[in-house]
Amino acid sequence: MSQSKRAELIRKSLLLFYRNGFHATGMDLVAKETGVSKTSIYKHFRTKEELILAVLRLRDENFRNWLYRRMEELADTPKGQLLSMFDALEEWFLEDNFQGCMFIKASAEFQDRDHAINAQAYAHKLLLADHLEELVLQAQLPDARNLARQLLILKEGAIVVAAMSHTAASAKEAKSIAGMLLAA
């Protein structure tokens, strides 16, 4: 399988796992939906978990690139970008294919803290926290680490509520709370 076919397999698998969940998506379904034989899949990924890790790496890269770019497009100051994160989330919540956070789903399905998939999901959140902390520092706000963590918790809570309620209202609510945190 060429690198482009491998990348296509990962992209298509991402959609399957996002839509159906990790445990509910068997390798037979992956083969059927991607058009790649199980034999070919297993030549590149020894296990389903290796494929899931590749999918999570792609999702991490895609999501962070999208989110950071939207934050920068929506605001030109670090403080403004922190608030615009919630505007970007609202846009995501309103998409027809929004089904919550793939990393929250991964950690729910692979709850053992030492499991590679759980660790990969948490690593994504840590990268987001680092970016938020950098913006807090650039905005010259106090207690950067704690404030970044609080904003991350607001972000994650908004995602969970949006997925459960099937509305985007939590983005505006979280933005309002974030505004109070940033003003304090």
Q: Examine the pLDDT at 48 and tell me if it is beyond 70.
A: yes
Residue ranges of domains in the chain, CATH in brackets: 56-183 (1.10.357.10)
Is the model more confident about 70 or about 43?
Answer: 70
**Residue 80 tokens, joined:** 């403004």
Residue 1 has a pLDDT of: 55
Residue 4 has a pLDDT of: 82
For residues 147 and 129, give the distance between their C-alpha atoms in angstroms, rounded to a whole number: 10
Cβ atoms of 41 and 26 closer than 8 Å: no
Q: Examine the pLDDT at 21 and tell me if it is beyond 60.
A: yes
Q: Which residue has the tokens 């962070």?
A: 64
In angstroms, the Cα distances linking 140 to 32, 63, 67 are 52, 26, 22
At residue 118, what is the residue type?
Answer: N
> Mean pLDDT, to the nearest integer, of 44-67?
97
Residue 13 has a pLDDT of: 95
What's the pLDDT tens digit per position in 71-112? 999 999 999 999 999 999 999 999 999 999 999 999 999 999
For residues 73 and 75, give the distance between their C-alpha atoms in angstroms, rounded to a whole number: 6
- DSSP 8-state code for residue 124: H
- DSSP letters, 80-114, are HHHHHHHHHHHHHHTSTT----HHHHHHHHS--TT
For residues 33 and 16, give the distance between their C-alpha atoms in angstroms, rounded to a whole number: 8
For residues 9 and 33, give the distance between their C-alpha atoms in angstroms, rounded to a whole number: 10
Q: What is the percent of the chain where pLDDT is above 70?
A: 99
What's the pLDDT tens digit per position in 141-173? 999 999 999 999 999 999 999 999 999 999 999
